[in-house]
Structure 1
Amino acid sequence: MERNDVKRLPVISDGKLVGIIARSDLLRALTRMQRPSAPSTADAQIQLAVEAELAKQISSKNGFIRCRVRNGVAELAGTIFDERERLAAKVAAENVPGVTAISDHLTWIDPYYGVALPPPVGEEDRV
């Protein structure tokens, strides 16, 4: 595609056009297929320390906040019912030695209305 300057290709099923695929679609799919590297022992130790710190927090005792550490970046995921839980989880994670950044993927759910709001869009918080 690159060599012949082809940017998009038709997708045909049973002789009918069903869609168009772009180079960016193919590249996105290829990057998802790459296997993630196994966490290092340092990352595993950091992850255990963050999980222990989160277990001390009242908000994480419900088990809805999870953490995964890759290359020193603590990725917080799950659901929270109060925005103060987000801040508490981030503070707990950033106080663990070895954490270089925090990636917030926590979804806030309003307990009264059941409305779910995704995490704020932005870059990782550097520690």
Structure 2
Amino acid sequence: MRASDIMTTSIITASPDMSVRHAAGTMVFAGISGMPVVDEAGRLLGMITEGDLMHRAEIGTGVKQRAWWLEMVASTTELASQYVKEHARKVRDVMTTDVTTITESCPVGDIAELLERRRIKRVPVMRDGKVVGVVSRSNLIRALVTMAPEVPTAAENGDHAIREDVLAAMEGQPWAIARENVIVENGVVHLWGPVVGAEEGNAIRVAAENAPGVKDVIAHFGRPPAA
């Protein structure tokens, strides 16, 4: 699955000359928390988000007076930038210009990693220098809901097949348990073996639960396999 499969193509954008108040209103009424800023030719200039509008003088959310020693170590450039963010009237002055972008062929897994690593909620999708879509965290969640395959029922998978799938899911993992410690009876997976930590135990359980046809998973850690 790639960006082109899940991206939003009905894009709401802002212009650099749009007022901050107009931009805020657009986001509120459209139910979005950010939008690309583009010029008349459709070229991406930046992003305007809720985070860019958090500290504003009009509503009393500007950065409060800092301790005198912090004022001394803060550079003139930093203080000037802070003032502009709090008082500027145009989007061009408050938008974020260091924007991460992706292409339509970007794999969904890479997008999720990018959003987490950059601590951002959305990323513009580019084609020939222009924005053709936006992928947000909500797009990823919708993909999970609409495209996750259904798990086959136990009737479609015998106990042997279920056991092999459970073992395959754990293969190569440092927390995997030995083959002989996985027993399946009538679709119920029994996990045996030595005492394991909570996280390792959860990983083993989840691997078993995701195997097609599993009815239930019962852990017996700390006990020898049943004879």
Shorter-normalised TM-score: what interval?
0.3 to 0.5
Report the TM-score when normalising by structure 2.
0.27
Q: Hey, which of these two has a bigger chunk of helix by percent?
A: 2
Choose between structure 1 and 2: higher strand proportion: 1
TM-score (norm 1): 0.46
